[in-house]
Amino acid sequence: MKINKTRMGRKILFLLFYYSISFCITARENKIESTFLVDSIKLLIPEPVHSNQAVIISQLMADNHYRKTSLDDSLSKKIFEMYLDNLDNQKSYFLESDVHFYQRFQFAFDDYIKTGNLDLPFEMFRLYQQRVLERIEYVKKELLEKEPDFTIQENVPLDRSKENWAKTNSELDEIWRKTIKNQMLGMKLEGKDWAGTKKVLDDRYSRIRKNITQYNNEDAFQIFMNAFTENFDPHSNYFSPANSDNFNMALNQSLEGIGARLTQQADHTVIYEIVTGGPAYKSKMIHKDDKVIAVAQGDTGKFIDVIGWRLDEVVQLIRGPKGTKVRLKTIPVSNPTTTTEIELIREKITLEDESATKKIIPYTENNTHYKIGVVSIPSFYIDFEDYRNGVPNYKSVTNDVKRILTELESEKVDGIVIDLRFNGGGALFEAVNLTGLFIPQGPVVQVKDSYGNIDINKDKDNKVYYDGPLCVLINRFSASASEIFAGAIQDYKRGIVLGENTYGKGTVQQIIGLEEYIPEETKKQIAQMSHIQFNNRVKFGQIKLTLSKFYRVTGSSTQHRGVKPDIEFLSPYDAETNGESAQKTALPWDQIQSTTFTPQNKLNGQMIQKLQKIYASDEKKDPLFQELKYDIDISEKEKNKNYQSLHYEIRKQEKDKINKEKQNLKDLTNSLKKKETKEVITPETTENPIEKDAYLKESVKLLSLYLQWMKKQ
């Protein structure tokens, strides 16, 4: 979408003129004096460049974001609450008196942003820094002096965000005593002695202290502005120039290792994005928003605790030569009370790694042999440069799948499964074109912009490249373009959609540079007054802004609710922690008018019901599903726990019980797998390619049954 820069420019110029007269004002009404020492940290204050950008961002968000939200007292209160949450989500640093003091100004945050007066938000950030340093000193001087007594029965809350703010420093000391004791107990249960535990924690909090003192003005501004932009929706963000440059550098480096893009959130390194085709993607064990807490090299290297490390330092540990092994300990976003250990072999990621691939699975059902083609699509990729230059057979998911479909038909497969699991999306253009391979011409998706204009994206090619039996396999991490494709196949009744409910991201974003909205003369004035310069120029940031929403041909939005499969499989991913619906500020689901389209009616409702019953039966007896169900049950119990014991024997018994139950289940599963493998393998293969993949195996089975019933009609 193209933003109306003329109209926008007039408003920005007016506000910049208004603000230009206040650049030299250093005092304001209700000026708050610092109440803490800043000897150990650099005094952070807003620069003129930050004030200008705040004004521009406020206008861009108000005028162009899909969610038309007024920057008023109601939003101001939410900005304050999110900013406070971003700084101290676990209520571990601020006192109740700190919070009450700043709450007096919660209805003024809209005015601070609109006028570019950022004194108070920066003062809150400085207080946050000071409170963190106070806590670190307490940990190092008091809590690491001697090993605590793990025979005392006491509990620690697992999620302090739901607790009250501490009223006194003594209360905060007690909170930290239990927090650190819990960390120590976790290490003791892993076999670490007291000397090793003390060293890990001492090093960890030294790193956190170093990092907190290295925050700069841009860091503080970015954290505050994201509390503003993310109140519109979770995908609208501000990127300050320096942090953005460092972040992009880290991304490029990480691609040569595990194929995961990383970001920093407080003291943790967090998975920002999984690169299609890389080791992390192939493992299926790492997901967006998982926290990386330790890194080890090879088979025998010791784990290095990376909590409190800078992003570039963690990237250096994870990177390494192609073919070498790295081991990670993560806290999964789906179950934040546990840790997971993952082994990965480093690779160099290339375009070919994210290409669609095929395999043919021989399968026997009721003494009938079938050949099922499986097309795995990791993303909706396209080489835009070759496409724009008119290069024949340019690289794209549609062109690759066209070729694969031709090959599968020549090999006389009986049916095809399109596997979209963990496919986070890509080019909208490709989602439309790929759908067109399976249907005659017609609408595929509707796109509604922030002004209410609706554009219908259609497949205009009459040719159908595959007309046979079709299944689409999805999971909780199938998002955006994947949801468009799966939704269209479902709406056209072209194939059976199987798996888990999808992610629910039905929005479109655009990156907007802020520099183009600032007149050259104003840039010069800012440069003269600014300490943040690059080659005698001030660099400005960017915002990622949500401009549009996707809607299915039926008029139903894919936002928030995602695509519900025709046959829903057991899912290890909780909607409360995974997916768009887990985001507090996600845009809501809604509906617009349906388009005119002609369903293919290749599905029989009674057969779908029969398949649902078959799956329900398989879920109860299949060893792979039983193993998965056990893990889900354990996660549910952990999730519902509000407190955790700090008694060593109690925790050890809990851990031993789970490990024993898991081992018994694995032994049973392995014996059942061996028996089942003998029944399923056909003379065409010496290895069952689906014996470790419950979802794919069930999809192949249900498609085979569907084929069998279709022949009887």
**Residues with catalytic roles:** 480, 491, 505
Q: Are 16 and 514 in contact (CB under 8 A)?
A: no
Distance of CA 146 to the CA centre of its chain: 39
- CB–CB of 274/281 below 8 Å? yes
* DSSP H stretches of helix in 28-70: 48-64
What are the contacts of 68-71 at 24+ separation with CB within 8 A?
68/450, 69/231, 69/232, 71/110, 71/113, 71/114
- Please give the structure tokens belonging to residue 684: 């065409």
Residues 6+ apart with CB under 8 A from 470: 415, 416, 417, 418, 438, 489, 494, 495, 496, 602
DSSP per-residue string spanning 634-665: HHHHHHH--EEE--HHHHHHHHHHHHHHHHHH
Query: What is the pairing mode between strands 260-265 and 291-297?
Result: unpaired
For residue 259, count other CB atoms closer than 10 A to its CB: 26
Helix axes 520-529, 5-20, angle to 10 degrees: 40
Residue with tokens 């290792």: 257
Q: What is the rounded distance in angstroms from the CA atom of residue 315 to the CA atom of residue 310?
A: 9
User: What residues have CB less than 8 Å from 245, skipping those under 6 apart?
Assistant: none
The rounded distance, in Å, linking the Cα atoms of 56 and 637 is 47
- Angle at CA of residue 63, ends 19 and 515, nearest 5°: 55
Closest CA to 90 of 180, 172, 161: 161
| C-alpha span between 399 and 358 (Å, rounded) | 14
Sign of CA dihedral 567, 572, 577, 580: negative
Task: Name the DSSP letter for residue 515.
Answer: G
CA 638 to chain centroid: 22
Question: Residue 704 phi/psi, 5° resolution?
Answer: -65, -40
Rg (CA), the chain: 28
201, 144 Cβ separation under 8 angstroms: yes
Per-residue burial over 608-627, b = 16 or more CB atoms within 10 Å of its CB, e = otherwise: eeebeebbeebbeebbbbbb
Listed in sequence order, the residues at least 6 apart from 252 whose beta carbon sits closer than 8 Å to its beta carbon are none
In the three-class reduction of DSSP (H, G, I as helix; E, B as strand; rest coil), residue 411 is classed as: coil
d(CA 124, CA 172) in angstroms, rounded, equals 19
Separation CA 282–CA 266 (nearest Å): 28
Mode of pairing for the β-strands spanning 368-376 and 415-419: parallel
Indicate the residue type of 496. I
Task: Return the structure tokens found at 200.
Answer: 């890990």
3 state DSSP class of 568: strand
Cα dihedral sign, 275-279-285-286? negative
Q: What DSSP element (H or E) covers 126?
A: helix 119-138
